[in-house]
Amino acid sequence: MASRRALHIALMPGDGIGQEVIPAAASALRTLTTSLPHLSFTFTTLPIGFQTFTETGSALPDKTVETLQKECQGALFGAVSSPSHAVKGYNSPIVGLRKKLDLYANIRPVKSVGGKAKLEIPGVDLVIVRENTEDLYVKEERSFDGGGEIGRVAEAIKRISERASRRIARMAGQIAVRREEMRGNKKGMVTITHKSNVLSQTDGLFRSVAREVLTGAEFAGKGLVVEEQIVDSMVYKLFRQPQYYDVVVAPNLYGDILSDGAAALVGSLGLVPSANVGDTFVVGEPCHGSAPDIEGKGIANPIAAIRSAGCMLEFMGEIEGARRIYDAVDEHLREGTVTAVDLGGKAGTAEIVEDILKRL
Ligand code: ATP
Ligand code: MG
């Protein structure tokens, strides 16, 4: 019997369809407690995003960060709209949040379920584990006059540290082992992605530290298969044979690109969840943005957000709760007769939610 756990979860719908899909994710968590009575949730809604910026002058108010740090164990974040032109004083609040809470891993499970998404490639079941704090994203750029014919020159720092590489590799290894357990005896595999044939120092460090961690004492005897692959050939194989991959660990930029590419394999952005994970906090976040083109129409697909609630639970250690959410969504996609608009059907957000909750 699992021990009782009362979780205080922050809801940060943000802008656009975030307002429509985050309540759906919260209702999935509420419904879960009827079959898992050891779990209970209380929710606090917190302001974040562009609308909040126009109202208060800050996209990520101090009070939001303080409440997250002092009162909550996890959070669900919807989306923020990015204005088409640069607005003075406006910075992406999710980037700020990742820094403030040290959410150093961005985790994206991409799975096809043999369902009704027309563009779905069958048999895909992989997780991209992206380092989230360094690489080219340290944003240390400069430009100067190169003189003569060269003209202007711009350069950016790509920073890779042992600490960040170590902790992201550990996270990838732990995910692979857990997936092994969740799937029965199917072997866990981690593929280390890099370009160390060209960037021997930076990517070379990432590669060697990741390999050392994954083949080291912590994972000895766990049956992990550790492979590595140069990022360009990885892209090729990801598109030719995506079924091959299990857990992919990558530095920030490659992880960013690979995870959008991988999302395309399962048919719609409206299906793909993510979790921003640190050592003490987890924020679930659908991969899509604020989707202004469908905002307010009641047709946003809530699945990415509901699966993100599952991811949040998984990384908070509530594996059974996570599994039930994933299974209910998979069953809905495989067997349901209610199909979301982005998958070619007619059903609105409310109908999809109802069908998934029924299966929880
Ligand atoms: P943002 O700047 O906030 O990212 P965007 O205009 O790039 O907004 P996205 O949210 O990234 O929009 O979505 C890209 C496309 O996918 C849009 O056409 C959008 O309608 C569609 N889309 C995204 N999420 C969903 C969803 N949950 N359900 C249905 N369609 C979606
Ligand atoms: Mg977008």
Burial class of 313 by CB neighbour count within 10 A (0 to 12, 13 to 18, 19+): buried
Q: Is the CB of 269 under 6 A from ligand 1?
A: yes
pLDDT of residue 105 exceeding 70, the answer is yes
Give the HSE-up count for residue 42: Cα atoms under 13 Å, Cβ half-sphere. Answer: 6
Minimum CA distance residue for ligand 1 atom 11: 289
Strand-strand pairing, 247-250 and 225-230: unpaired
pLDDT at 232: 97
Q: What is the ipTM of this complex?
A: 0.95
**Which of 6, 8, 5, 11 lies closest to 308 in space, CA to CA?**
11
Ligand with an atom nearest the CA of residue 273: 1
1 or 269, which is more confident? 269
Ligand 1 atom closest to the Cα of residue 289 is: 10
Residue 185: pLDDT band by 50, 70, 90 thresholds? low
Residues 204, 23: Cα–Cα separation, whole Å? 44
pLDDT at 287: 93
Name the residue of 53, 260, 288, 352 whose CB sits within 8 Å of the most ligand 1 atoms, as the mutation to test its pocket.
288
Residue 303 Cα to ligand 2 midpoint, Å, equals 17
Q: Is the CB of 300 under 6 A from ligand 1?
A: yes
Ligand with an atom nearest the CA of residue 289: 1
Residues 177, 190: Cα–Cα separation, whole Å? 10
Residues 6+ apart with CB under 8 A from 281: 68, 72, 73, 74, 75, 101, 102, 103
Residue 260: pLDDT band by 50, 70, 90 thresholds? confident
pLDDT tens digits for range 51-77 = 999 999 999 999 999 999 999 999 999
Mean pLDDT over 332-336 rounds to 91
pLDDT at 213: 98
Please provide the distance, in angstroms rounded to a whole number, between the alpha carbons at the two ends of the chain.
Answer: 19
Ligand with an atom nearest the CA of residue 341: 1
Residue 349 Cα to ligand 2 midpoint, Å, equals 19
pLDDT at 281: 97
Q: Is the CB of 290 under 6 A from ligand 1?
A: yes
pLDDT at 2: 64
Mean pLDDT over 316-332 rounds to 95
The count of residues in the chain is 360
Residue 270 Cα to ligand 1 midpoint, Å, equals 8
Residue 308: pLDDT band by 50, 70, 90 thresholds? very high
Residues 183, 354: Cα–Cα separation, whole Å? 28
Ligand with an atom nearest the CA of residue 81: 1
Residue 1: pLDDT band by 50, 70, 90 thresholds? low
Residues 162, 220: Cα–Cα separation, whole Å? 21
pLDDT at 83: 79
Q: Find the largest Cα–Cα distance for the chain.
A: 74
Q: Is the CB of 276 under 6 A from ligand 1?
A: no
Q: Is the CB of 342 under 6 A from ligand 1?
A: yes
pLDDT at 71: 96
Q: Is the CB of 149 under 6 A from ligand 1?
A: no
Q: Is the CB of 304 under 6 A from ligand 1?
A: yes
Proportion of the chain above pLDDT 90, given as a percent: 84
Residues 6+ apart with CB under 8 A from 114: 120, 122, 334
Residues 14, 36: Cα–Cα separation, whole Å? 29
173 or 99, which is more confident? 173
Residue 86: pLDDT band by 50, 70, 90 thresholds? confident
Name the residue of 269, 295, 339, 351 whose CB sits within 8 Å of the most ligand 1 atoms, as the mutation to test its pocket.
269
pLDDT tens digits for range 3-36 = 789 999 999 999 999 999 999 999 999 999 999 9
Q: Is the CB of 289 under 6 A from ligand 1?
A: yes
Please state, as a whole number, how many other Cβ atoms lie within 10 Å of the Cβ of residue 152: 8
Mean pLDDT over 178-203 rounds to 90
Q: Is the CB of 20 under 6 A from ligand 1?
A: no
Q: In 3-state terms, what secondary structure has residue 157?
A: coil
Proportion of the chain above pLDDT 70, given as a percent: 99
pLDDT at 163: 98
Ligand with an atom nearest the CA of residue 92: 1
Ligand 1 atom closest to the Cα of residue 304 is: 27
Contact 101, 278 (CB under 8 A): yes
**Residue 305 tokens, joined:** 């957000």
Residues 129, 346: Cα–Cα separation, whole Å? 34
pLDDT tens digits for range 125-136 = 999 999 999 999
Q: In 3-state terms, what secondary structure has residue 99?
A: helix
Residue 71 Cα to ligand 1 midpoint, Å, equals 31
Give the HSE-up count for residue 77: Cα atoms under 13 Å, Cβ half-sphere. Answer: 29
Mean pLDDT of the chain: 94
Distance of CA 101 to the CA centre of its chain: 15
Ligand with an atom nearest the CA of residue 290: 1
Residue 235 Cα to ligand 1 midpoint, Å, equals 23
Q: What is the DSSP string of 307-327?
A: HHHHHHHHHTT-HHHHHHHHH
Predicted TM-score of the model (pTM) = 0.93
Residue 85: pLDDT band by 50, 70, 90 thresholds? confident
Minimum CA distance residue for ligand 1 atom 19: 291
Mean pLDDT over 251-264 rounds to 92
Q: Is the CB of 263 under 6 A from ligand 1?
A: no
Instruction: Kindly list the distances between the CA atom of residue 175 and the CA atoms of 214, 246, 325, in Å, as whole numbers in the listed order.
Output: 12, 10, 18
